[in-house]
């Protein structure tokens, strides 16, 4: 529902808020945060390859169950990044949940509407009544490059970038600029 840019910004905000000790702005751990924040949208890949982008979107990968599985995957990857498994699971789960939250806050103009948070226990999908984000046009690969999507990315940046600026300001104020 939101673009990879919006989800990546959310991952960066979480990374800069929760992780210390890595030199540079992003690094390997930052890439992990960005990847985990975008992970639920892997369900677009089969649809884009078949010419029907939404065919598999907003299904299993947009559930709390998937967030738990992503947390487990993160626990397996954690030692490669220098984290213990519990910390890696927590961080990966938070990033995946950020994806679901942003999708809940995105206007949804195409069926199936909303996010099926509690699948397989419930088929109900959820959306907030007032959206913060516009839905991108992504029915097919060429749609990704429409002018409408430039506006969508601009709006995501306008909403999420202030959080990143605030986090960076707080880090600098605490003396945590370059680890």
pLDDT in 10s for each residue of the chain, 179 residues: 789 999 999 999 999 999 876 656 678 899 999 999 999 999 888 887 887 777 777 889 999 999 999 999 999 999 999 999 999 999 999 999 999 999 999 998 877 788 999 999 999 999 998 999 998 887 666 777 889 999 999 999 999 999 999 998 988 888 755 44
Q: Is 178 within a domain?
A: no
Query: For residue 85, is it within any domain?
Result: yes
Could you tell me if residue 135 is inside a domain?
Answer: yes
* Averaged pLDDT of the chain: 89
Residue 22 in domain: yes
Could you give phi then psi for residue 106, rounded to 5 degrees?
A: -100, 135
Question: Is the bond leading into 72 cis (omega within 30 degrees of zero)?
Answer: no
Its domain, for residue 133, covers 4-173
Q: Is residue 125 part of a domain?
A: yes
* pLDDT given at position 178: 47
Structural domain contains residue 97:
yes
Rounded CA separation 113/173 (Å):
42
Residue 111, φ and ψ in degrees, nearest 5? -70, 150
Q: What is the pLDDT at residue 108?
A: 87
Q: Is residue 179 part of a domain?
A: no
Answer yes or no: is 77 within a domain. Answer: yes
Question: The pTM is what?
Answer: 0.89
CA distances from 25 to 13, 40, 90, 134 (A): 11, 24, 21, 28
- Digit-coded pLDDT (tens) for 105-135: 999 887 778 899 999 999 999 999 899 999 8
Look at residue 156 in the predicted model and tell me its pLDDT.
Answer: 97
Which pLDDT score, from 0 to 100, does residue 25 have? 67
Report the number of distinct structural domains present in the chain. 1
């Amino acid at each position: 529902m939101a673009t990879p840019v919006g989800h990546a910004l959310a991952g960066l905000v979480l990374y800069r808020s929760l992780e210390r000790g890595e030199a540079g702005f992003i690094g390997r751990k930052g890439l992990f945060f960005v990847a985990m924040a975008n992970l639920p949208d892997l369900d677009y890949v089969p649809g884009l390859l078949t010419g029907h982008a939404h065919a598999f979107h907003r299904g299993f990968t947009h559930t709390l169950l998937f967030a738990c599985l992503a947390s487990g995957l993160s626990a397996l990857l954690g030692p490669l990044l220098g984290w213990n498994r519990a910390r890696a699971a927590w961080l990966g789960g938070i990033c995946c949940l950020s994806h679901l939250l942003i999708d809940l806050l995105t206007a949804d103009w195409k069926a199936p509407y909303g996010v099926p948070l509690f699948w397989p226990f419930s088929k109900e999908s959820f959306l907030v009544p007032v959206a913060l984000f516009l839905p991108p046009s992504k029915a097919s690969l060429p749609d990704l490059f429409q002018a409408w999507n430039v506006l969508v990315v601009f709006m995501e940046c306008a909403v999420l970038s202030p959080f990143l600026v605030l986090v960076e300001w707080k880090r600098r104020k605490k003396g945590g600029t370059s680890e």
